Structure 1
Amino acid sequence: MPADKVHEYADGLCYTDLMAGYYLGASEEVLQAIADYSAWFFVWDDRHDRDVVHGRAGDWRRLRHRLHAALDAPRHHLHHPDTLVAGFADSVLRLYGFLPRTWNQRFSRHFHTVIEAYDREFRNRTQGYIPGVEEYLALRRHTFAHWIWTDLLEPGAGCELPDAVRKNPAYRRPALLSQEFAAWYNDLCSLPKEIAGDEVHNLGISLITHEGLSLEEAVDEVRRRVEKCISEFLEAERDALLFADRLDDGSVRGKELSAAVRSCVGNMRNWFSSVYWFHHESGRYMVDTWDDRSTPPYVTNETAGEK
């Protein structure tokens, strides 16, 4: 975005407002780092989209390799000439400063997977390949970065959760449901833009292509799945809070873990309200006001990425 477009559109995109509603209770330093990282993620997503639209396979390949490298050694990429890479390195380095190295390694492992999922999406889109529903849902968990946003609950709570807690079904199920809701609601709100742009990555598009649904039926089915996420989350949330109670065994560590799980589960709930609010307030989804329903007006189509 050139300076004039930043002035006109940036505040209306509400990227940092979105994070402020996700990670309540986080310190100001943690919340700012997460908000900046989230804003970077949206910019990266737009760069990826423009590389697809313009067939810039070489540019995307270089960016993919540079992001992998910056994730492994962020300090060495702070002054990279591609500002997207430098911004990523800055965000990662800041996020790595809050919790132990084991959390950093997990975050890195999860984001390497996200980068590769974006590469898979790049290939699907350039080849015009529309994945089947189950294939799409599995890939979407990585392109939406389900486990990254769940990982970030922990610095928000000020505590790294051990595997025995984090992988327990009582914790993992509401975490997954909160992210599925967010991803599928995003698909619902993005559907007009993505149909206009001949997209291949959207739950609604997979349902239309592989299940033979009409547009109206696909919208109803995505909405049904979204609503089911809400009802199932409410049940899973109760189990998670009982799990948090059981963790408080009277020890200092038990009390700390119980409080951290309660904080994380509370913010899983906040994803629902924040995602809903964001998609109806952010200019990113107001396609009916755009001259071209497939291209956001804040994107500089000709100059995005490298030449």
Structure 2
Amino acid sequence: MHAFSDSTTATPTAVPVPPSLSLPMIEAAFPRQLHPYWPQLQEKTRAWLLEKRLMPADKVEEYADGLCYTDLMAGYYIGAPNDVLQAIADYSAWFFVWDDRHDRDIVHRRPVAWRRLRDLLHRALESPEDHLHHADPLVAGFADSVRRLYSFLTDTWNIRFARHFHAVIEAYDQEFRNRSEGIIPSVEEYLELRRLTFAHAIWTDLLEPSAGMELPDSVRQHPAFRRAALLSQEFAAWYNDLCSFPKEIAGDEVHNLGISLITHKGLTLEETVTEVRRRVEDCVSDFLAAEREALEFADLLADGTLWGRELGAAVRACVGNMRNWFSSVYWFHHESGRYRVDSWDDRSTPPYVNNEAAGEK
């Protein structure tokens, strides 16, 4: 099985998956899908990055398609209305750019600039309309994407999304402090923080506008739904750690499951890769069991009433997209230029970032 090497075409060509990162279970049991809107999605997100000045024009031209950010979302939120998927894709692209700014602020020791951005994002989350024209493109782009996401469901969903993303911002702040001070969190501390920096709750929240229904708390908190959602996200976070291990070691990172295992559990490099891989594979097999339980739960909800049928269908759509997350994440890591460290001139400096991002000089 191979990934699609060039996301500007629908014709697949061979991109081999390294044996150390190959997961035959994903390739065999999680067939990949792409939302039919994907070609327009890619074009419009590229234009949005330019319009919002989130990446310099030359970097958008050279790198945007190859980074495959839209492919990741188009492989996840299958069935989403086009406008919902577009808003999610733009927000996701913004998230990657924000992650890069956060990294550059750490590398270039810009704590004042980071704190300023952190505080502005907290405020923009509460009142995006007031920040649409902010001088910092990262703040304005965030406000625009959040404003659009807030338009699909109710204020209750918006408040929950905001609460979850406030926690993500604070987790990024904790990571900033850890990296600035060279603090490598314990495995347990890392796993808790990673659920926030990877924004587990956010990507799960976005399943709802994609399914066209806000789920009641009793459904979202049901053990069958929660377990399936968590496993899909844990897989993504830990597989990301496995794939980005070389990049993050080269960049003197302290936030990676492998780095915590080496530091606090005394594992060798080889043992660490084996352990992270084991956790990733367990997520896949555990999800298959959790998926069955979640689909049985969806069937129970479909009790013959109109509301029950609609609710059961929405849960089934959400669980189906949790499944899609596995294949989308897997292939993204082998298609995206974000992880091709060996091709970079400087293994610690991604070529697609703006190294002169807004901040202290």
TM-score by length of 2: 0.84
Q: In percent, how many aligned pairs have the same letter?
A: 78
The alpha carbon displacement at 1:171 in A equals 0.3
Question: For 1:166 and 1:82, how far apart are their aligned partners in 2?
Answer: 36
- SS in structure 2 at match of 1:55: coil
**What one-letter code is carried by the residue in structure 2 that aligns with 1:296?**
P
Distance in 1, Cα, partners of 2:193 & 2:251: 20
Match of 1:292? 346
The code of the aligned residue for 2:180 comes to T
Conserved? CA contact 2:261–2:267, under 8 Å: yes
Aligned to 1:96: 150
Provide the rounded CA distance (Å) in 1 between the counterparts of 2:293 and 2:95: 32
Task: Give the aligned residue type for 1:153.
Answer: L
Whether the aligned pair in 2 keeps the contact of 1:16 and 1:39 (CA below 8 Å) is yes
1:1-307 equivalence runs, <5 A? 1-301=55-355, 303-307=356-360
Aligned AA for 2:154? Answer: P
* Alignment partners' CA distance in 2, 1:161 and 1:247: 12
In the alignment, is the contact (CA less than 8 A) between 1:193 and 1:294 conserved in 2? yes
* In 2, Cα distance between equivalents of 1:248 and 1:197: 50
Whole-Å Cα distance in 2 between the matches of residues 68 and 298 of structure 1? 26
Give the distance between the partners of 2:105 and 2:281, measured in 1 at CA.
34
Q: CA RMSD in A?
A: 0.6
Distance 2:194 2:359 in 1: 27
Post-superposition, which runs of at least 4 consecutive aligned residues in structure 1 deviate over 4 A?
none
Unaligned runs of 5+ residues in structure 1 are: none
How many aligned positions are there?
306
Distance of 1:300 and 1:275 partners within structure 2:
25
Which whole-Å CA distance do the structure 2 matches of 1:114 and 1:32 have between them? 22
Distance in structure 1 (CA, Å) of the matches to 2:315 and 2:244: 32
2:32 aligned residue: none
SS of 2:348's partner is coil
Q: Which runs of 5+ in 2 are unaligned?
A: 1-54
Q: TM-score when scaled to structure 1?
A: 0.99
CA contact (8 A) 1:33 1:94 kept: yes
Q: Is the 8 A contact 2:105 2:359 kept in 1?
A: no
